[in-house]
Amino acid sequence: ERAPAPLDYGAALEALLQHGTRMVCAGRTHTDRVCRFHSLCYSTEAEEFVYFHSNASVMLPNLGSRRFQPALLDLSSVEDHNTQYFNFVELPAAALKFMPKPVFVPDVALIANRFNPDNLMHVFHDDLLPIYYTMQQFPDLDAEARLFFMEGWNEGVHFDLYKLLSNKQPLLREQLKTLGKLLCFTKSYVGLSKITTWYQYGFVQPQGPKANILVSGNEIRQFTKFMMEKLNVSMEESSSEEYIIVFSRTINRLILNEAELILALAQEFQMKTITVSLEEHSFSDIVRLLSNASMLVSMHGAQLVMSLFLPRGAAVVELFPYAINPEHYTPYKTLATLPGMDLQYIAWQNSNRENTVTYPERPWDQGGIAHLDKGEQERIMESTEVPRHLCCRNPEWLFRAYQDTKVDIPSLIHVIRQTVKSKPGPKRLKWPGSLYPGKVRDAKCQASVQGTSEAKLAVSWQIPWNLRYLKVREVKYEVWIQEQGENTYMPYILSHQNHTFSENIKPFTIYLVWIRCIFNKTLLGPFADVLLCST
């Protein structure tokens, strides 16, 4: 670590007394807010953040008591979770005279909560991606910034991954006590951007993709590229040999006939097939293997988030235990099918009760149901599908989620073959994204009237400006003709830059003409300014 710049303690204390705390936030509600502070303090005895008022302090937004309804902001990337709220208590700066001497933190700090650091899906989706892109949002959160995790957990099994995000060791809430009684962060950011998250875990409605996903495969892959560089895993294809990975779990939710499965996959796809697990392989080894794999096969579970390291074109095959409807649990499907992620996603479900092994006697958090009353136990045992439910302790869900499965090989190969026709495998795509057309330009119309009942409208326009620099397979134009004052319009799809409309065109009428360009059938551009045409 680089030695911190020497801090003039007297000057720092004087500045805190004079200026107090200054806060300016971005975001309109507590769920989309991230705040930037000068001189935010934290009392390790009270376990509270402290805002010091002085003549020069700033608090934007200044919410009054709405700051507690329910909070100033979410400290984790999980939306509006009531265990993850951030707030501070207020004091006059003059109170510092009676308080423990503050210890100043010189590093630019990002202060946030990890949501569930022992679960790999949560680690990537809730923490690593949001931290990475929050740091991208604020230039002074650079490689020398320091992360402060306030959720109160210990390091957790994946702490090495968090360490990759900056050059400084992240600090945990417990460790702050060893630094002093009153810590003052010279410059800090509080909260995490939610812009990259794609899944909601079912706290208020059953789990599913977020309503408004704002991330594409491109940003996910920029992040994985960063992580691979930090892990010293090269992006180069090391060898041309194609292979399939079976990512297995070794503690629970087992594949009972793994050897048979591996042989069958190898034979069907004529590829080497290997197994990895979090217990038996290092994280970097798994990333290295995944980054050149043609197919990943795994039981539903957090390890599947690592499909974000697969190359474009690879297939993700997710196996679901008996009575678990794949459509109801789609964190990995949503990831694989993000636009630009370019993965093929396949779900297989065990539909044969004889091929499942249940564990009713285990503790409740491993899916046991012995603590439930007899009637409820029987109902669960008889049920053929777990009904939709909220997170996180539904015993029927846990019971089914922790079953072991003997995979029916023919049915699995059949569903894979419905999607993967020839050999699966990495694809080197020429151009990753889909680019949208700009507005059409110089739109004009000319009317001509024939007699008292017929009229024509000749409309022409120029191609969007960006089309001059693009190779586009198919360029079409959509034109809507709307009689002024009417709610309906006549739509047309056209291939050329001019057209004479005569159907349903009346003389002595004003028409509104809306024109937009469409690339490759699906990429709809913006409408140009509406054209007013009088016949």
Between 176 and 398, whose beta carbon lies closer to ligand UDP? 398
In the chain, what is the greatest distance between 2 CA atoms, to the nearest angstrom? Answer: 94
Taking the complex as a whole, the smallest distance from the CB of residue 239 to ligand UDP amounts, in Å, to: 27
Residue 332 CA to residue 98 CA, distance in Å, equals: 53
- Quick one: which segment of 244-252, 420-428, 432-440, 470-478 binds ligand UDP (CB under 6 A)? 244-252
- The reply to whether 282 sits near ligand UDP by the rule CB under 6 A is no
- Asked whether position 121 contacts ligand UDP by CB under 6 A, the answer is yes
Residue written as token pair 């028409």: 511
Q: What DSSP string runs through 431-484? A: S-S-PPP---EEEEEEEEEETTTEEEEEEEEE--GGGGG---S-EEEEEEEEET
Which is closer to ligand UDP, CB of 38 or CB of 158?
158
Count of residues that bind ligand UDP according to CB under 6 A: 11
The residues pairing with 405 across neighbouring beta strands, listed in sequence order, are 255, 356
**Does position 257 bind ligand UDP by CB under 6 A?**
no
**CB closer to ligand UDP, 335 vs 518:** 335
Query: Which of 87-116 are b and which e, b meaning 16 or more Cβ less than 10 Å from the residue's Cβ?
Result: ebeebebeebeeeeebbbbebbbbbbbbbb
Per CB under 6 A, 249 contacts ligand UDP: yes
Q: Does 50 bind ligand UDP (CB under 6 A)?
A: no
Residues 426/311, Cβ–Cβ less than 8 Å: yes
- One-letter amino acid at 255 equals I
The stretch near ligand UDP (CB under 6 A) out of 40-48, 299-307, 475-483, 505-513 is 299-307
Residue 531 in contact with ligand UDP, rule: CB under 6 A? no
| Choice from 20, 217, 301, 368 touching ligand UDP (CB under 6 A) | 301
Compute the least distance from the CB of residue 119 to ligand UDP, in Å: 5
Q: Which of 137, 205, 250, 351 binds ligand UDP (CB under 6 A)?
A: 250
For the CB of residue 340, give the shortest distance to ligand UDP in the complex, in Å.
25
- Say if CB 185 and CB 39 are below 8 A apart: yes
Distance between CA atoms of 61 and 264, rounded to whole angstroms?
A: 60
* Among the listed residues 93, 171, 184, 278, the single contact to ligand UDP using CB under 6 A: 278
Which of 303, 330, 355, 358 forms a contact with ligand UDP (CB under 6 A)? 303
Which one of 15-23, 280-288, 297-305, 451-459 is the stretch in contact with ligand UDP (CB under 6 A)? 297-305
Q: What are phi and psi of 88, to 5 degrees?
A: -135, 160
Establish if 113 lies at the interface with ligand UDP (CB under 6 A). no
Stated length of the chain = 535
Minimum distance of ligand UDP from residue 297's CB (angstroms) = 15
Given a contact cutoff of 8 angstroms between Cβ atoms, the answer to whether 31 and 72 are in contact is no
Contact window for ligand UDP (CB under 6 A) among 219-227, 245-253, 317-325, 368-376 = 245-253
Q: x-or-dash pattern for ligand UDP, window 196-235, by CB under 6 A?
A: ----------------------------------------
- Integer CA distances (angstroms), 215 to 60, 112, 125, 294, 525, in order: 28, 21, 12, 24, 20
Cα–Cα separations (whole angstroms), residue 214 to 126, 223, 261, 383, 438? 15, 15, 37, 37, 21
Stretches 41-49, 80-88, 119-127, 312-320: which one binds ligand UDP (CB under 6 A)? 119-127
263 binds ligand UDP (CB under 6 A): no
Q: Report whether 478 contacts 522 (CB < 8 A).
A: no
Looking at beta carbons only, is 93 or 297 nearer to ligand UDP? 297
The one-letter amino acid at 359 = Y
367 lies in the site for ligand UDP, by CB under 6 A: no
Position 251 contacts ligand UDP (CB under 6 A): yes
User: What's the token pair of residue 277?
Assistant: 């697990």
Alpha helices in 138-201 (DSSP H): 159-163, 173-179
Judged by beta carbon, residue 179 or residue 251, the one nearer ligand UDP is 251
User: From the list 108, 135, 302, 459, which residue makes contact with ligand UDP (rule: CB under 6 A)?
Assistant: 302
Minimum Å gap between C-beta 301 and ligand UDP is: 3
State which residue, 187 or 249, has the beta carbon closest to ligand UDP: 249
What's the min distance (Å) between Cβ of 379 and ligand UDP? 23
Nearest to 93, CA basis, from 60, 52, 139: 52
Contact 420, 348 (CB under 8 A): no
Query: In the complex, what is the shortest distance from the CB of residue 254 to ligand UDP, in angstroms, rounded to a whole number?
Result: 7
Structure tokens of 97?
């005279």
Nearest distance in Å: CB 389, ligand UDP: 14
Give the CA radius of gyration of the chain: 29
CB of residue 321 vs ligand UDP: minimum separation in angstroms? 11
Query: Minimum CB separation from ligand UDP for residue 251, in Å?
Result: 3
Report the residue from 119, 193, 275, 298 that binds ligand UDP according to the rule CB under 6 A.
119
Contact in structure between 210 and 197 (CB atoms under 8 Å): yes
- Residue 156's alpha-carbon distances to 3, 173, 234, 321, in angstroms, are 27, 13, 26, 28
- With a CB cutoff of 8 Å and minimum separation 6, the contacts of 402 are 252, 253, 359, 362, 366, 367
Interface positions with ligand UDP (CB under 6 A): 119-121, 249-252, 278, 301-303
